[in-house]
Structure 1
């Protein structure tokens, strides 16, 4: 499974456009609702989809297999598990955001609260 750092999101978006021209990539936030209320990212160049990890096995058919997906959680462990699960279920353009929203705050947007 491929991982990217939050600082590489713009490069990932550009790469995603070559994989699926004209398709907006997805950042799949697999954190719990309270975590998203505490800290969330701004969707610029991608669609932000909230799907808590525990709901992914039932809800993953809602996701479009043709859209590149980057999985996001707090530190990167849950999102890595979800990325692996998606790949096992036929999704090919999936990456994990290494370091999660914690790293996002440090590398990309310091206005995102740490928790």
Structure 2
């Protein structure tokens, strides 16, 4: 099972990651399309931000480290949940889905992020 966190819980998740694996910088994996990322994006604070459209994940799986915590992000949380479950099935142990996606991120964490 893949846990779901709200954007408001991201700081708490990052703290847990730092305690459990202090030398493994967490990744927020943004699985939206390039035009969506150009429309609205987040500022990486305490994590590495990687953009990889959902459809490209299977072919680019080798680019996603297995030894780092990963939080998947999309527009509302549906695509990112699918990617999180896919990664989990591929043997990634430390994966969460950001429920509500970037839309909720703008509401809960950073009102400067445009909503679309």
Same fold (TM over 0.5): yes
Unaligned runs of 5+ in 1: none
- Name the residue aligned to 1:19: 20
Q: Secondary structure at the match of 1:95?
A: strand
Tell whether the 8 Å contact from 1:20 to 1:66 is kept in structure 2 after alignment: no
- 1:28 pairs with 2:34: no
Separation (CA, whole Å) in 2 of partners of 1:58 and 1:18 = 32
5 Å matches for 1:49-68? 49-68=50-69
TM superposition outliers: structure 1 runs of 4+ over 3 Å: none
Report how far residue 18 of structure 1 moved. Answer: 2.4
| Superposition CA RMSD, Å | 0.6
**1:48-67, CA deviations, whole angstroms, 9 ceiling, x for partnerless residues?**
00000000010111111010
Separation (CA, whole Å) in 2 of partners of 1:55 and 1:16 = 26
Question: What is the TM-score normalised by the length of structure 2?
Answer: 0.97
- Name the residue aligned to 1:77: 78
What is the aligned residue count? 115
